[in-house]
Amino acid sequence: MRIIRSILLISIIICPFADAASSCGNAIRECQTSTIEFSDVNSILNRLNRSTENLQTYQCNIEYLYSQPLFESSTLRTGNLFYQRRNKTSNLRLDFLTLKQDQEKQVSNIEQYFFDGVWLTFIDHPNKQAQKRQLTDTDKPKDAFELMRENFPVIGFAPSEDLRRDFDITLANDKAKDANAIIVLKMKVKPDSIFKDDYSTIDFLIDPNNMLPYQITAESIEGDIYLIKFTDVKVNQKLPKKVFEVKIPDDFPKPQIINIEKDRKGND
């Protein structure tokens, strides 16, 4: 469940930035000439909120480093992320392909996550097992962002006033002095924030030329660090339907099914 909670919730926040890149297209010059828009926190948040409406697809390579400094332990996973919006719902696929623990060698380790608006499916290839967890009612499918923002601040989709209520947000560098500088947003959880029991700080590093984050760092209240890096980003390029097809290998046992009623009872 830690992977579901930390990776799925953290990695999806990259997508709200994606349409900013598509609105710029190849006209990097246009984005650079409007750097005055990104000189303060409010203008950055407003731009991100305006730029989410036309996002249709997103794909990238992803590196996820989970570390526990107290125990001098770390786990690095690498893979691919795919997202597609359809009307009021969406599809999300996250494939982890490699695993490296502490100082050990990197090995092949395939773990897959699929979300279709209702069901989150986890396929654990090394252990030959699968799980399907219902996250919302079948007649009320949700977009991944709409669902996950209940547990993580979905920048670009969450209203700026909501973010301000839960976080002290600062711009760590002076964009007015250097238009080409990386945008660094630092978010400190407020004492009365709805996230106060989960996170202490979240930092975003954003490329001003395409308004895409290339690194996100979140620190839990226990001091654990979640570091996410994104490369080879592609925005609003058509994705084949088969990308989101869930295929559980034939030699796996039947997947564990956790419907929403059972999940609710388990959390009571």
Compute the distance between CA of residue 43 and CA of residue 253 in angstroms, rounded to an integer.
51
Compute the distance between CA of residue 258 and CA of residue 136 in angstroms, rounded to an integer.
11
What torsion, rounded to 10 degrees, do the Cα atoms 147, 148, 149, 155 define? -120
Residue 261 CB partners (closer than 8 Å, separation 6+): none
Compute the distance between CA of residue 101 and CA of residue 105 in angstroms, rounded to an integer.
8
Residue 27's pLDDT band (cuts 50, 70, 90): very low
Asked if residue 46 lies in contact with residue 211, where contact means CB atoms within 8 angstroms, the answer is no
Domain ranges of the chain: 2-157+228-266
pTM of the model: 0.79
Compute the distance between CA of residue 248 and CA of residue 221 in angstroms, rounded to an integer.
36
- pLDDT at residue 254 above 60? yes
Which of 6-10, 121-125, 127-131, 229-233 is the least confident region?
A: 6-10
**Between 1.10.150, 1.10.8, 2.50.20, 2.40.50, what CATH number should domain 2-157+228-266 receive?**
2.50.20
Quick: pLDDT tens for 128-174: 999 999 988 988 887 776 665 555 555 444 556 777 888 898 988 66
Compute the distance between CA of residue 81 and CA of residue 71 in angstroms, rounded to an integer.
29
Element (H, E) at 42: helix 41-50
